Amino acid sequence: MLRQQSREAFDYLYQHYAAALYGVIRRIIFDEETAKDVLQESFVKIWNHIDHYDSNRGRIYTWMINIARHAAIDKLRSKGEVMRAKIRPGAEVVHTEPTTLKTEVSTDVIGLGNLVTALKPEYAHIVQLAYYEGYTLDEISKTLDIPLGTVKTRMRHAIKILREHFSS
C-alpha cells in the first residue's frame, strides 16, 4: 500500500509517526514554525522517495527519522543558525515544550537513548553531539578540542557497539 502511494497509506504514516518525527526535529530546530515546516518537508521527501525504502536494511521508523533529522540539520545549516541553536540546551526541549500534534509517540521507542547513555562517556558524548545536536564530526572535534581522527574512531566504535546490540 505504501509503494502505491495511496491516501490511506499517507494518513497512516502521518498519524503514527508525525509526533515522533516532530520531536526529533525539535531537538535540532527550536523555532516551532520552522520545525513544522521541516516536518512537512520531511513527509514530502518520505512520500516522494518511499520506493527507496528497503525493509531489509531497517525499519521504516528508523528510515523516516533519518530523513527528518537530515532535513532539520540541512535547514539549520542553510539558515546559518547552527551556533545560535547550540546555545540553547537541546536535551530538554522535546520534554518541556508542549506539542500541538494529536499523536504522542516517544522519540526513543527503540531505546536508543538508553543505549547511548550506557556507552563509555567519551563515546556517548560524541554520539549525542552528532545525532541529537546535529554537529558534524569536524564541529565535534573543534568543540571538544580533540583530533578529528579521534572523533571518527570513537564514532565508529560507538556505532559498532550500537549495531551489535540491535543485531542480537
Last residue of a domain, one of 106, 126, 151: 106
Distance of CA 130 to the CA centre of its chain: 10
Do 144 and 70 reside in the same domain of the chain? Answer: no
Q: Which pLDDT value is given to residue 107?
A: 46
Do 16 and 90 reside in the same domain of the chain? Answer: yes
Is residue 122 classed exposed, middle or buried when 0-12, 13-18 and 19+ CB atoms within 10 A define those classes?
Answer: middle
Lowest mean pLDDT among 42-51, 61-70, 133-142: 133-142
The secondary structure of residue 107, as a DSSP letter, is T
Do 86 and 115 reside in the same domain of the chain? Answer: no
Is residue 65 classed exposed, middle or buried when 0-12, 13-18 and 19+ CB atoms within 10 A define those classes?
Answer: buried
Report the CATH number at residue 92: 1.10.1740.10
Q: Which pLDDT value is given to residue 90?
A: 47
Above 80 in pLDDT, residue 136? yes
Rounded CA separation 126/139 (Å) = 10
pLDDT digits (tens, 9 = 90+) for 49-104: 888 888 888 888 888 988 999 999 888 887 655 544 544 444 444 444 444 444 44
Q: Which pLDDT value is given to residue 98?
A: 46
Do 26 and 58 reside in the same domain of the chain? Answer: yes
Instruction: Identify the domain containing residue 165 by its residue range.
Output: 111-168
Do 100 and 149 reside in the same domain of the chain? Answer: no
Report the CATH number at residue 136: 1.10.10.10
Do 20 and 94 reside in the same domain of the chain? Answer: yes
Do 84 and 129 reside in the same domain of the chain? Answer: no
Residue 89 one-letter amino acid: P
Last residue of a domain, one of 106, 127, 155: 106
Do 140 and 92 reside in the same domain of the chain? Answer: no
Rounded CA separation 76/56 (Å) = 31
Do 62 and 139 reside in the same domain of the chain? Answer: no
Is residue 7 classed exposed, middle or buried when 0-12, 13-18 and 19+ CB atoms within 10 A define those classes?
Answer: exposed
